[in-house]
Amino acid sequence: MEALVLMLVCGVGYLVAYHTYGRFLARKIFGLRADAPVPSVELRDGVDYVPARKGIIFGHHFTSIAGTGPIVGPAIGVIWGWLPAVLWVFFGSILMGAVHDLGALVVSMRNQGKSISDIAARYINARVRFIFFAVVFLSLLIVIAIFGVVIATVFARFPNAVIPVWLQIPIAMGLGYAVYKRSANVTLSTLAAVVALYVTIAVGSRLPLLMGSAFGIPPTGLWVIILLVYCWFASNLPVTMLLQPRDYINAWQLFVAMFLLVLGVAVSSMRGGLPLAAPAVNHDLPAGVPPLWPVLFVTIACGAISGFHSLVASGTSPKQVAAEPDCLFVGYGSMILESFLAVLVIICVCAGAAMALPLEDGSVLAGRAAWNHIYSAWIGDNAIAPVIKGAANMMDSMHVPSVFGMTLMGVFIASFASTTLDTSVRIQRYIVGELATDLRVPVLANRWIATTVAVGTAIALAFATGADGKGAMKLWPLFGTANQLLAALALLVVTLYLRSKGGLKFLVTAIPCVVMLVITNCAMIREEQRYLGEKNWLLVAIGGGIFLLALWMTVEAVIVFVSKRSTAQPEVAG
């Protein structure tokens, strides 16, 4: 019953926040207008700039920002107890994360759909453009290389998910063709696509597909190559052909999965109580677990606030939003829903996974003993397994076969990772193109060459340490802190944008910005001390470089803020 109460309280809280604080931001702070010019119309090119229905762009934006972040982060973060994790996810998303996402989306739309990196030059100065580009490029490089490994790992552990994930591509392309080329009814087309998706899940649950080794490359390495080559093609197709419809049907997959989880919590609570087996605050941490402050706040990112979101909000999404008022639903609403997903994940690992945990010796643990066994050490990148097991346990209470439930969750996680991977490659292409334009190197601004740079650098990083494609793991310890630092810098840009409009509106982003700068700088200093202790000079150099670049940008911004001036040019949508 504890899990049910937690879910209901958070769910109602998110709805109240959206209709109060969210609407206040949209109307009073950003002044969204239905008649304002937007890039998707003014710069329409049929490839990247294409106006879309609010529901469709919501699906694309949500699945792009979510990925595995709201799944893995909270599943790791509950090691300090479920209460700190829930408080950070709930209040962080409402007061910081959703504000960050909405602000980045609106500012980008009012600046030709440009990236947050490019916009930084308008509201601070030209020097910071390259600082931001460096941080963004490195963050995306890690994301692209790592997500290939994440998907490969899911395919290896849950081979039943392979066929459904790949069959999403023709289903999505069929949906895009039906809606945009044949003017088919969106509701009926969506229903047909979602039904087809679940048919493939049923098929996949009976037909697992295991990848073998070839040419001396293990399965993970082969999957990384296949996925990145696929992204090279996918990121250059018109958004209406694959990216947008695939994200849209994945959003519906999420809605169904979340509905099943919500129903699973309710039914399990009615039948057995479904208590939270994890402690509210864990005072008996396993050896080697870092301190709650500041590590919790960079471990749980996407469920509360994530800098990666600003890249999507100033990347693919502003080029597709058809009217400014849609930003509330797309920007603020997506973050709130993602945060609710993080709450469900917390319930999965703190209650669902502890319902029944089979061990190799044939015994079965339950309750606190099961949770303690799962979290007997820092769980790290093994966090996906208890989420899937917990979800399957709760679905089993509704007589959903365990193999189907685990396949469904495996497809769900791999699908989200793949949509983020697709979007990340496309955004990296934008970043390379914008930087090439600024440097007057037109050959690199060509979308095919820019995509080759984006994919080529990720492949180089992935295979830097061997044929398994896991080279990005060397830089992964940096990503959590770098990602949250990116969120602070994005909030800094939005703050200066609001400052240029006069009044005290800038406080809604300035306060979260300061909070995130304190958190991330504390975390970065701690990480640098650890890297120095380990004599990991690669991470010392890269982490120190990011820290100094961010400090430089912050100083530049403070100077502009204090001087009460802005270098911004008049904003234009087209």
How would DSSP label each residue in 394-449? HHHTTT--HHHHHHHHHHHHHHHHHHHHHHHHHHHHHHHHHHHHHTT-HHHHSHHH
The rounded Cα 269 to chain-centroid distance in angstroms is 30
Tokens of 63: 């699945």
**Better-scored residue on pLDDT, 470 or 285:** 285
Q: CA 451, CA 380: separation in Å to the nearest integer?
A: 31
Tens of pLDDT along 27-56? Answer: 999 999 999 999 999 999 888 899 988 988
Q: 39: closest CA among 296, 277, 316?
A: 316
Q: With bands split at pLDDT 50, 70 and 90, how would you rate the model's confidence at 1? A: low
Residue 525 has pLDDT above 80, yes or no: yes
Helix axes 334-347, 98-109, angle to 10 degrees: 150
Residue whose pair of structure tokens reads 């700039």 in the numeric block: 49
Residue 527 has pLDDT above 80, yes or no: yes
Residue 572 has pLDDT above 60, yes or no: no
What is residue 450's predicted lDDT score, i.e. its pLDDT? 92
Q: CA 6, CA 24: separation in Å to the nearest integer?
A: 26
Q: What is the DSSP string of 150-215?
A: HHHHHHHH-GGGHHHHHHHHHHHHHHHIIIIIS---HHHHHHHHHHHHHHHHHHHHH-------BT
Say what percent of the chain tops pLDDT 90: 35
Q: Read off the DSSP letter of residue 217.
A: B
> For 52, phi and psi rounded to 5 degrees?
-130, 155
219 cis-preceded (ω within 30 degrees of 0): no
What is residue 483's predicted lDDT score, i.e. its pLDDT? 86
What is residue 472's predicted lDDT score, i.e. its pLDDT? 75
Q: With bands split at pLDDT 50, 70 and 90, how would you rate the model's confidence at 547? A: confident
* Structural contact between residues 73 and 86, judged by C-beta atoms closer than 8 angstroms: no
Residue range 2-562 forms a domain whose CATH class is mainly alpha
Residue 10 has pLDDT above 70, yes or no: yes
DSSP, collapsed to helix, strand or coil, labels residue 457 as: helix
Q: How many residues are there in the chain?
A: 574
Span 392-403, average pLDDT = 81
- Dihedral of CA atoms 289, 292, 293, 297 in degrees, nearest 10, equals 100
Residue 567 has pLDDT above 70, yes or no: no
* Structural contact between residues 512 and 101, judged by C-beta atoms closer than 8 angstroms: no
Q: What is the DSSP string of 308-354?
A: HHHHHHTTTGGGTB-STTHHIIIIIIHHHHHHHHHHHHHHIIIIITT
Q: With bands split at pLDDT 50, 70 and 90, how would you rate the model's confidence at 570? A: low
- Of the listed ranges 144-153, 341-350, 519-528, the least confidently predicted one is 144-153
Tokens of 377: 């050490």
- Of the listed ranges 100-109, 183-192, 430-439, the least confidently predicted one is 430-439
Burial class (CB in 10 A: 0-12, 13-18, 19+), 532: middle
What is residue 401's predicted lDDT score, i.e. its pLDDT? 79
- Of the listed ranges 219-228, 260-269, 377-386, 561-570, the least confidently predicted one is 561-570
Q: How many CB atoms lie within 10 A of CB 507?
A: 14
Span 116-132, average pLDDT = 82
* Structural contact between residues 140 and 427, judged by C-beta atoms closer than 8 angstroms: yes
Residue 337 has pLDDT above 90, yes or no: yes
Q: 29: closest CA among 21, 17, 39?
A: 21
Span 84-93, average pLDDT = 97
- Of the listed ranges 128-132, 211-215, 500-504, the least confidently predicted one is 128-132
Residue whose pair of structure tokens reads 């392309």 in the numeric block: 173
* Structural contact between residues 314 and 107, judged by C-beta atoms closer than 8 angstroms: yes
What is residue 326's predicted lDDT score, i.e. its pLDDT? 96
Q: 296: closest CA among 92, 1, 151?
A: 92
DSSP, collapsed to helix, strand or coil, labels residue 364 as: strand
Q: What is the DSSP string of 37-49?
A: --HHHHT--SSS-
Residue 258 has pLDDT above 60, yes or no: yes
Residue 100 has pLDDT above 90, yes or no: yes
Tokens of 56: 């469709």
Residue 257 has pLDDT above 90, yes or no: no
Q: CA 205, CA 449: separation in Å to the nearest integer?
A: 39
Q: CA 94, CA 14: separation in Å to the nearest integer?
A: 8
Tens of pLDDT along 415-452? Answer: 878 888 888 898 899 888 878 887 788 888 888 999 99
Q: With bands split at pLDDT 50, 70 and 90, how would you rate the model's confidence at 565? A: low
Q: With bands split at pLDDT 50, 70 and 90, how would you rate the model's confidence at 173? A: very high
